[in-house]
Amino acid sequence: MKTTLGWLALWLLLTVGLAQPDAYSLRFKQAWRLIHERYWDSSYHGVDWNAVGEKYRARLGQIASWDELYALISAMYDEIGDQHTGFLSPEEARRYLAGAQCYPLPFEAEGGSSPPASRSPSPAPGPAQPEKPRPRPKEPAPAFPPSTVEYKDRVVIFRLSNLVDGDGPRMLRQAIERHDAQAIGYVLDLRGNPGGLAIRMAEVAGYFMRGVPWRLVTRGFGVSPLPTTPLFGQPLTRKPLVVLIDGEVNSAAEGLAGALKNARRAYLIGTRTAGNTEILLPYCFPDGAVALVASGVLAPFSGPTWEGRGVEPDWVVEKDPLAAAMEYLKRLR
């Protein structure tokens, strides 16, 4: 009996040991295919993506854990050389995306396994013992500085730090609902905003306007109109709006500023934005890892894209654009 159990244990160890490399290989293949098939630039910015795949695939034999695999895929994605595309481990995805929705993998189901959930060993039989309190898991540090709101001289000044997590849009909505009856206007400060997800951009724009201000030019889905969220009905406010921009405003934040300007819904103050309007689509893996793939370019519904050009302000102000915004709104009283 002991011999049988010993052989069974050995067989299980060998089976698990052989299965893991297959799972690593499958995950690597899926991550590589996402860029190969969904990246918006089919020339990959001049990078030979097939050669990159072979280079990193050759290192799979050295991988001994899922964390090492995530690091390998992340390094492979860095070879593309843009400021958006990347690969997040489950922990990083929880930190950066804060529960944002993402797309399923656009492939047919394939075999393989994901990292197993950790389990505590079963206690040995014996008298019941009082259960010790379990330490609460540490919350991941915020990926971005917090968004802030200030109500000053009947103006709501809202600094939106990013368009990834849902905290900023939620705070902005609450500020509008609280102050709109007394406020004379709003300042939406996007300076330094790196952008983020199109769904957040559409949500924030929908607070101030409704319509279809954008189109997405993508490789996987062609050209798609992109509406505000929601599309119909009245926005939360029609009060005057100033948007502050600078050269550090990227991606979906540029799309937000550009749409509000084109709709004549906002007056833009500051300096030209970065002109980096690739749009990220997040693809989810079963274990919570996420591939962020620049799958398209954001453009106005009609007219040329902002890619490489940026969004121009209505009033160029390099020093203290916030003071200029307050002055502009007070003149509208």
Q: What is the mean pLDDT of the chain?
A: 86
- Whether 78 contacts 276, CB under 8 Å: no
The pair phi, psi for residue 185, each rounded to 5°, is: 175, -175
**Average pLDDT in the 255-259 region?**
98
The pair phi, psi for residue 21, each rounded to 5°, is: -55, -35
pLDDT in tens, 268-312: 999 999 999 988 788 999 999 999 998 888 999 998 999 889 999
Strand partners, 181: none
Helical H runs in 186-320? 198-208, 251-262
Q: For residue 193, is pLDDT > 90?
A: yes
Residue 136: what pLDDT? 47
The pair phi, psi for residue 282, each rounded to 5°, is: -85, 130
Domains of the chain: 2-81 (3.30.750), 148-331 (3.90.226.10)
Q: For residue 138, is pLDDT > 70?
A: no
